[in-house]
Amino acid sequence: MPETVPYPFEPSPARGRVLVFDSGVGGLTVASEIRALGPRLTVHYAADTGFFPYGDKSDEALRARLPVVAKALVEAAEPDVFVIACNTASTLALEEVRAALGIPVVGTVPAIKPAAKLTETGTIGLLATPGTIRRAYTARLIEEFAAGKRVILHGSLELVKLAEAHARGEDVPIEAYAAAQAPMFEAEGGSEIDTVVLACTHFPLVRGQLIATAPRAVSYIDSGAAIARQTIRVLPEITHSGGQGGTSLLTRPPDETDGIVRVLRRYGFPDIQFVAIDPMEMTSAPSAEP
């Protein structure tokens, strides 16, 4: 699932173990990019299914949980690099996770900088979850990298659900994708959008459907390839031995999940491991913000 912005691509000979983490299946798009760039890497995948979805949890609950979950998953998988393939988790607790682990941690940043370089109209759309849209971190990225550009933000939990359904192999009406992204194009200035940032790792799963239902030709870009390159850069000189990988770690028993095991196997993670996390307070606390 490559970026729209061209870049020199040559598979890396790097070896080592990488653990890609998300709340659900969205991070599989990042895992695919890492596997493409580093075919000799051992890539494992972890999903915090015991706390999914992150979209209905408070910021306080997530900040408390993420370092604990990350430490437990790293102890189970023993990776050389931990990749947070989730904008929500990265914008909230990247530094806290780094402080809890003794290995490099790569976060996810919306691809606002390359979008600002790519746009010809000066108007960029940003598709994300409502949580990513409202956070000051996103506003700072726009101020730093897209000064002078118009950025139209649209937060959609519905598009997350559509991407999850698509990953499970469900037949989703194409009109649903059109409806999910329509508010962005219908907003003031939306008719000038020529570049859209997919600021949720779920969304590249349905890039083709978004392209097909856009009102006109639009470039959709994400940060998956950039994350893959950064993962290769931060690999330590001495790493764990490489191999095929394919283990997935879940924080909820696999037989209690809603089809995620089937999805993980479809995307090349056939071995399922349950990692128990001690119960925490605020495990279902709704966000205080809309």
Residue 290 clears pLDDT 90, i.e. is over it: no
**What is the rounded CA–CA span in Å between residue 199 and residue 58?**
19
Residue 240 clears pLDDT 80, i.e. is over it: no
pTM score, whole prediction: 0.88
Confidence of residue 284 (pLDDT cuts 50, 70, 90): very low
**Predicted pLDDT at 101:** 97
Q: Which residues of 91-106 are buried (b: 16+ CB within 10 A; e: fewer)?
A: bbbbebbbebbebbbb
Q: What percent of the chain lies above the pLDDT cut of 90?
A: 74
**Predicted pLDDT at 220:** 98
200 part of the active site: yes
Which of 84, 86, 109, 116 is flagged as catalytic? 86
Write the pLDDT tens digit of every residue in 149-190: 999 999 998 999 999 899 988 999 999 999 999 999 999 999
86 part of the active site: yes
Which of 77, 109, 112, 200 is flagged as catalytic? 200
> What is the amino acid identity at position 288?
A
